[in-house]
Amino acid sequence: MAGRLGRGADQPGFRVEFNSALGPYKGGLRFHPSVNLGIVKFLGFEQVFKNALTGMPIGGGKGGSDFDPKGRSDAEIMRFCQSFMTELYRHIGEYTDVPAGDIGVGAREIGYLFGQYKRITNRYESGVLTGKGLGWGGALVRTEATGYGAAFFAQAMMDTAGDSFDGKRAVVSGSGNVAVYGIEKIHQLGGMAVACSDSSGYVVDEKGIDLDLLKQVKEVERGRIELYAERRGSARFVAGGSVWDVPCEVAVPSATQNELDGDAAKVLAANGCRYVVEGANMPSTPEAVDVFRAAGVAFAPGKAANAGGVATSALEMQQNASRDRWTFEHSEAKLEEIMRGIHTRCHQTAEEYGAPGDLVLGANVAGFLEVAEAVHAHGLI
């Protein structure tokens, strides 16, 4: 089901409820000028199989608007979130459809959306949204989960290859939620991220990205990535260009769809890249995936590698339902276990279906079978 939200044709909003065989529709809301119904549908479709791979009871959906939050004041953001929820509230609920953030929608926006839902419905329904603030129903590790999860997934790939993160150079595109916490966990696991980006260009820092500075620039000041290079002697900023020109052994595309094309993939492979782990949703074009396959670069599709975010949202739902709060350590251990489980499942399914090492096939087959079996069990519609 696709819904068109918002008054007036100038600011459309969407929620695509794709499949609820395994649980309530679940997936993020994106505010970005590129958003249209086609993009929301593809993201919702992918979400169905990703959510199945997590092993958690969640169906798949996605939503958003072409509203551009860049340069808007807090008050403008709040008013847009309130308008959006004034239409969306009738479609969602703890047992129906549970949105969260995505590009352009973080903890601030989830707060405004939750406040409006509560105002309209007169219900404190914690489980209606995930990614909530820690003081009012949010879960520890949800903020870090997607980036941390992608790094755990990369580590599982390396373990299988008898390899490790030790001393490896990584390039992580984007500098938003997924990128920042991907870099944090890569550093904790012994790797070194040397470049990241935003839509204006990229920075290269041969001493390794300084995370405190990156968080200050992107999370606190909501500034452009160029500011990072201005404040850090070892870094330089490249306006425009491709972050994939920076040599690395591990590439973690964590910005947006189609950001890594066939040409970029050839450059990465020629520079010795050995692992590509998608933090974003479908950042690699089909041509890029073909290049990686031909060059023997290990490749993890987003529906497996970035599933830690939505899996931790399901953990948030679990904590809300039981009115419980778990510690950071407990939640992170669960996340690592889930990511290792997804890797094992994709790896084993690929072997079982005659394509050893092909995590794209493994993820698609394993996710599809789980959903198809549930749809079948529920009878014809």
Percentages (nearest 5) of helix, strand, coil residues in the chain = 50, 15, 35
Contact pattern from residue 98 through residue 117 relative to ligand 8G0, giving x for each residue in contact according to CB under 6 A and a dash for the rest:
--xxx---------------
Closest CA to 39 of 73, 7, 71, 16: 16
- 311 near ligand NDP, rule: CB under 6 A: no
From the list 26, 50, 62, 185, the catalytic residue is 62
The string of DSSP codes covering 123-146 is ---GGG-SS--GGGT--TTHHHHH
Q: Considering only residues 177-196, where is the footprint of ligand NDP by CB under 6 A? A: 177-178
Binding at 83: pick from ligand NDP, ligand 8G0, none (beta carbon under 5-8 Å per type): none
- The CB density around residue 370, as the number of other CB atoms within 10 Å, is 20
* CB of 280 vs ligand NDP, minimal distance in Å: 3
Binding at 280: pick from ligand NDP, ligand 8G0, none (beta carbon under 5-8 Å per type): ligand NDP
Q: Are 62 and 27 in contact (CB under 8 A)?
A: yes
Closest CA to 62 of 110, 17, 10: 17
Q: Return the amino acid letter for 304.
A: A
- 27 near ligand 8G0, rule: CB under 6 A: yes
- 20 near ligand 8G0, rule: CB under 6 A: no
* Nearer Cβ to ligand NDP (119/316): 316
* CB of 309 vs ligand NDP, minimal distance in Å: 3
Token pair of 294, please?
């031909």
- 204 near ligand 8G0, rule: CB under 6 A: no
For ligand NDP, the binding residue among 116, 175, 242, 285 (CB under 6 A) is 175
Q: Are 284 and 359 in contact (CB under 8 A)?
A: no
What is the residue whose two structure tokens read 């403008």? 76
* CB of 294 vs ligand 8G0, minimal distance in Å: 28
* Nearer Cβ to ligand NDP (83/306): 306
Binding at 199: pick from ligand NDP, ligand 8G0, none (beta carbon under 5-8 Å per type): ligand NDP
- 138 near ligand NDP, rule: CB under 6 A: no
What is the residue whose two structure tokens read 């870099």? 183
* Nearer Cβ to ligand 8G0 (29/209): 29
For residue 105, what is the DSSP state? B
Residue 132 annotated as catalytic? no
* Nearer Cβ to ligand NDP (254/364): 254
Q: Considering only residues 32-61, where is the footprint of ligand NDP by CB under 6 A? A: 32, 34
* CB of 181 vs ligand NDP, minimal distance in Å: 9
Token pair of 247, please?
């040599």
Q: Are 238 and 203 in contact (CB under 8 A)?
A: yes
Q: Which residue is nearest to ligand NDP (CB)?
A: 176
Q: What is the CA radius of gyration of the chain?
A: 20
Contact pattern from residue 293 through residue 322 relative to ligand 8G0, giving x for each residue in contact according to CB under 6 A and a dash for the rest:
----------------xx--x---------
Token pair of 43, please?
């993201």
- 280 near ligand NDP, rule: CB under 6 A: yes
- 99 near ligand NDP, rule: CB under 6 A: no
Q: Considering only residues 213-272, where is the footprint of ligand NDP by CB under 6 A? A: 254-256
CA atoms of 247 and 171, how far apart (whole Å): 8
Task: Give 231-234 contacts, CB < 8 A, sequence gap 24+.
Answer: 232/205, 234/205, 234/206, 234/207
- 367 near ligand 8G0, rule: CB under 6 A: no
* Nearer Cβ to ligand NDP (217/298): 217
Binding at 50: pick from ligand NDP, ligand 8G0, none (beta carbon under 5-8 Å per type): ligand 8G0
Q: Are 156 and 308 in contact (CB under 8 A)?
A: no
The string of DSSP codes covering 134-182 is GGGT--TTHHHHHHHHHHHHHHHHHHHTT---TT-EEEE---SHHHHHH
Closest CA to 25 of 53, 51, 50, 60: 60
- The CB density around residue 366, as the number of other CB atoms within 10 Å, is 22
Question: Interface with ligand 8G0 by CB under 6 A: which residues?
Answer: 26-28, 47, 50, 100-102, 130, 281, 309-310, 313
Which residues participate in catalysis according to the annotation? 62
